[in-house]
Structure 1
Amino acid sequence: MKISKDSQMVLITFLAIGFFTLSLSRGALALGASPASAADNSSLIVLSHEIPYGQGKVGDGGAWIGENSTVSGLLRVESRCSSKLEIDYQLQIPAPLVVRKVPPDIIVEKKADGLRLKANFLLITKSDQWFRMIEIHVPQGMASKNPSVPLVVQAVIHRLSDGQVWQRQKTFSLKVVNERKLQESFIVGELVIPADEQGRPQQKLKKNTILLTAESLLARWLKGEQEAIFTPAAYAAVDITNKLEDRVNLLARLDFLDPKTGQKVRGFDPPLPQGHEGLGQMTDGGVVYQMVSLSPRGQEKVILPIYAQDGLVLPGHYLVRLELKHFGTDSLIGQYSRSIEVSSPQWGPLIITLFSLIVAIGMVVIIYLKRRYFLQLKSRELISIALFGTIIFAVVNVPGTLLWRFAHIFLGPFSFFITGFFHEIIFYMLLTSLVVLIPKPGAITLVIIIKSMMSDLLFGGFSATSFLSMGVSALILEIAYYLSGLTRNRATVGRERATVGRAIGGGCLKLPYRTIWITALVCGLGDMAISYINFNIFMLLYRLYYASWYIAVYLLVSGFLYTAIAVPLGFTLSRRLSIIGG
């Protein structure tokens, strides 16, 4: 039978379409089967490890471990398949590494080239995980013989739904270094105690000192029990630099020891909530931990909280020890010890500040009750008092404040050696001359009020400390000049001043030298008392710390010496002013 060309073309077309359809169907079957053969091999499970534990991702060279150490490792397998899987797991550990500890469901087999860790387990559904912890010992001298150690993980995957089997294998390396090289790979800065929450040194507090946190007296009285304080008493901070090219995790541990016995002291560990105190018996008392992750050639500041509650930790001296270890191993990076002092809350500044508050309020009350006395002062005397107050502000407060800003840059806390010339010598010289000219109680108080108010208003320094200091200074100086006899024997001083006023041609003030030296002595002691009270006010309200020797030097030099020098100069100035004023 003869077939036309058109029919041949139609037949060929149908055959081509049929062949193409068959090819597509076979390709579809092949594509549909590929996940079960190739793709599932890489996507059914995830093999991961952390050796050392917590290391996470590392570079191509592998994680660092130190020789003569015990390394903790985490083995993990995670399912990415919704079907049930059975896994035959195997980890090849080459010699001379030694397995110290494995879970009971892992079988350890000895081979000529090392050890094999085998396990069989099920992964029920997607995201199901199997993980186990192991411990491996790295022997001494391995760094020179086997600096790079390969570990091979093999997994045979059985998909129970259709019986298909795949194999997975993954190799990772460990870099073994000797202990000295590992220790030299990190630079550890100075251990700073106390520090703030950001790790900055607490300049206002004494170095290497922890102030005990007092418990709430109100809570103790109302509840009849101690209140747990979760706020750290202080912080310890240290800078650590990583010189390696890989990320490394370290464990920072802070121990508190008895300096005599070297035993750990309890009470420095974080407090536990009520009802969970028994957990503290399960932990290592007096220890604070923190992990720090150091980036390649990076630096991190480690900040460790220090808990020390009043009643649990006794005041005294302790030894604090910072210990750095390679996280996940027992490799010691270094130990750094520091002697610290634990001090209890000081009640002295609180008592003195309360006393200053009572004095300041009392002076306000006295001035109000004695207002008729101040109103009876002569106009000439009030003008002189106001003039002296203004002069003291102009020649004491203004240059003293401005000079302090520059002197503090070069001399720091010892700037009082320079500023004391204004705040002590010139101030007491003018104040003494005023008292000699107007030997009446209350004149000192008015001068101090004028001077302080002008300073606070113009320099914006009005505060609780200025109010307390103003009241205390007025009371103590009134008492000092009264004890010296200047304001107590007003008639005698007035007659002597009048005699000088008439003796224009070189007369002198006929007060005995004994009165001058007594005035210098009592004013020096009075200024020491004022300075000491101001120190305590600052320590309480601003949480400042002053060393005892610094307070002693300040009181002797600025408080007593400069004042004792100024008082005789004030008598000389009063004599000249008396001569001029007639």
Structure 2
Amino acid sequence: MRILYILLALLCLTQQVFAGVKLEAVYPYNLDKSAAHVVHGGSTMPLFINITGFDVPHEQPAHLRVILPEGFKALANDKWRLGSADGRQTAEADWVLPADFGQSFDLLYIQPQTDLARGQKQLLVEVSGDGWHERRELSFSYEPAAAAVAIASQPGKKIDRSKFNWYIQSVTLPVDNLGNKDDHAAEGVVFIRDTTLEGFRNRMTGDGATNWSAVFNHPATFLVLDMRNPQRDVRLLKFKAELIDKKTGKVMPGLCTAGKNNEVSEHGWAGDTGSVNETTALISLDGKKTQAFIIPLYVDYFTVLEGDYSLRVTVSGNGQEKVQEVPLTIAKKHNLGLLAVGFSFICLLAVLAFSYKLKGCIYRIGARGAITVALFAALAFGGITLPTTLIGDLLHVFLGPFSGLVTGILSGMLLYLLVVALLVLFRAPGVLTLMYFVKYMLSGLMFGHFTPLGLLSMCVNVAILETLLYLSGFYRRQELGKGYMLFICLLMGVGDALVTFVNMEQMMFFYRLYYADWYLALYMLVNGLVYSSIGAWLGAKTGSKLQQVMGE
């Protein structure tokens, strides 16, 4: 027992020995480490003070005292009391350090006078409490501003300090998260997502219920705030963006700030941020003369209205405030996506309505025809779906959005070669539908692609191509001459171009993608008309040769 008591006593003694307070002070506090220990004339730079208390079982008061070098002054605020001692300004504050372990920190902004000479300066930080005292002496170099030196050399001239303050140079939007200009829209135009059919969209893509927290915490766009900082200030500033009605000048609803996640206010957009009808952020000037900030802009999709506004950008801090307004147009992209989805459902209903005729088609082509359809569908899956799925991502790495022009050789040319060859062999309504359906089932079984969107895309292909073939008289014609087959091949190309347009539009609707008009036209022309027409013509030749072999 004595040994146990001795160990407990040593433990308590160790805790008392190592208990205490640690003071950390940095001036000038600068995110740009290359410029540390240098204060430029006219700049406002912060003194960072951090007090760490550890192994103290109760709260303890701490008195802070900062003695500035001669010619330096602290900017007034409600946390510090300013005074003077021996011709040098002082700043004092009283803190309460937390019990056990905790950190208390603050920034005190300090500004030099304009007539100081170049040289080394010292700043003293003292912290005292019950039975303890900490002291730090900070040395730094002072460099007069070039403008101040030039004017000082000219007698009778004074420095106009208003010309050497930080200010907003420009506000540019929309940009992406890297600050690059957004080619999706004209300058000053922000397209926002239409959340009216958000639940329907997510269920069609297989995402389940709508995660509204993710919707509201995703930026609608980004803007670039270009700041000029001639004095090379280092300070934290508050950024605020508001929508302003051009006629009345009132703040309009529509912007919000990404919410906080906690157990009380739940998640994301439901969280209380204290900011209403505005997007806020903190930015830090790091002592550079020019600095650009990429700031996300959040939109409240339930309250925002389309229209023309002024975006008021306010940057404030330490009693200073700069405001700049830029024109902004809020628009919901009313594209053809919804019409494409409606058309896809019409195609789905049409396929379902005529599906009962597939039984008659199978009886008509017989067992040999059914086996041939299954064989061609397997060839289409193994020679088209499988390679494009496996190497499509790899090609996208090297070719980007133009990778589809390469995979389109398979999904366009080779596919229509098989389709038209099969139709030449067995010219009956429903053959094309059977082949697409078997190919869809194989793809779903192998890769798990049983999604409502995949079913809609297949029905669009079947409905458009079957309708064009029926209206052209392909199934009723006795002989297939070269001129007529050339017409059918071009018709298949036009049909595939229409299929490409509908499928890409509904992909933009469901997955919130964006395809430029020229990109859509390029895919419709190359992947749709050119590849499919060439593939159909090759399929006609192939089907004719196979027909001769089967006839023999």
Give the TM-score, by structure 2 length.
Answer: 0.61
> Residue 194 of structure 1 contacts residue 235 of structure 1 at CA under 8 Å; is this kept in 2?
no
> Residue 229 of structure 1 contacts residue 271 of structure 1 at CA under 8 Å; is this kept in 2?
no
> Residue 28 of structure 2 contacts residue 46 of structure 2 at CA under 8 Å; is this kept in 1?
yes
1:67 aligned partner = 41
> Residue 190 of structure 2 contacts residue 221 of structure 2 at CA under 8 Å; is this kept in 1?
no
1:289 aligned partner = 282
CA offset digits 1:421-452 (Å, max 9, x no partner): 22222322332233334332111111212233
1:518 aligned partner = 487
Amino acid at match of 2:41: E
CA offset digits 1:97-129 (Å, max 9, x no partner): 1355366994634755x335689x999x999xx
1:115 aligned partner = 89
Query: 2:511, 2:328 → 1: CA distance?
Result: 23
1:98 aligned partner = 73
> Residue 28 of structure 2 contacts residue 39 of structure 2 at CA under 8 Å; is this kept in 1?
no
Identity of aligned residues (%): 21
Counting only pairs closer than 5 Å after superposition, residues 31-46 of structure 1 correspond to structure 2 as none
Q: Does 1:531 align with 2:524?
A: no
Amino acid at match of 2:400: G
> Residue 99 of structure 1 contacts residue 136 of structure 1 at CA under 8 Å; is this kept in 2?
yes
Query: 2:106, 2:237 → 1: CA distance?
Result: 25
Structure 1 residue ranges without an equivalent (≥5): 1-42, 160-165, 181-190, 220-226, 239-247, 295-301, 497-508
Distance 1:446 1:118, change over 3 A: closer
> Residue 384 of structure 2 contacts residue 415 of structure 2 at CA under 8 Å; is this kept in 1?
yes
2:468 aligned partner = 480
1:429 aligned residue (417, 431, 453): 417
Distance 1:482 1:278, change over 3 A: closer
Distance 1:252 1:530, change over 3 A: farther
Which secondary structure does the structure 2 equivalent of 1:530 belong to? helix
1:312 aligned partner = 304
Counting only pairs closer than 5 Å after superposition, residues 20-419 of structure 1 correspond to structure 2 as 65-71=39-45, 91-101=66-76, 106=81, 108-109=83-84, 111-112=86-87, 114-115=88-89, 136-140=110-114, 142=116, 145-151=118-124, 153=126, 171-173=137-139, 176=142, 194-195=176-177, 212=192, 214=194, 231-234=216-219, 251=236, 256=241, 267-270=254-257, 280=275, 285-289=278-282, 305-310=296-301, 311-312=303-304, 314=306, 343-344=331-332, 346=334, 348-360=336-348, 362-368=350-356, 371-372=359-360, 374-401=362-389, 404=392, 407-419=395-407
CA offset digits 1:242-270 (Å, max 9, x no partner): xxxxxx986476565899x9x99984442
> Residue 148 of structure 1 contacts residue 175 of structure 1 at CA under 8 Å; is this kept in 2?
yes
> Residue 76 of structure 1 contacts residue 132 of structure 1 at CA under 8 Å; is this kept in 2?
yes
Query: 2:468, 2:536 → 1: CA distance?
Result: 12
Which secondary structure does the structure 2 equivalent of 1:148 belong to? strand
CA RMSD of superposed structures (Å)? 6.3
2:441 aligned residue (453, 469, 478): 453
Query: 1:456, 1:118 → 2: CA distance?
Result: 72
> Residue 228 of structure 1 contacts residue 271 of structure 1 at CA under 8 Å; is this kept in 2?
no
Amino acid at match of 1:312: V
2:428 aligned residue (434, 437, 440): 440
Query: 1:405, 1:448 → 2: CA distance?
Result: 24
Structure 2 residue ranges without an equivalent (≥5): 1-17, 147-172, 200-211, 224-232, 260-264, 288-292
Give the TM-score, by structure 1 length.
Answer: 0.58
Distance 1:356 1:322, change over 3 A: farther
Query: How far does residue 463 in structure 1 lie from its aligned partner after superposition?
Result: 3.4
Query: How far does residue 560 in structure 1 lie from its aligned partner after superposition?
Result: 0.9
> Residue 485 of structure 2 contacts residue 540 of structure 2 at CA under 8 Å; is this kept in 1?
yes
> Residue 318 of structure 1 contacts residue 342 of structure 1 at CA under 8 Å; is this kept in 2?
no
Query: How far does residue 480 in structure 1 lie from its aligned partner after superposition?
Result: 1.6
Q: May I ask how many residue pairs the two structures share in their alignment?
A: 469
Query: 2:395, 2:79 → 1: CA distance?
Result: 73
Query: How far does residue 169 in structure 1 lie from its aligned partner after superposition?
Result: 6.6
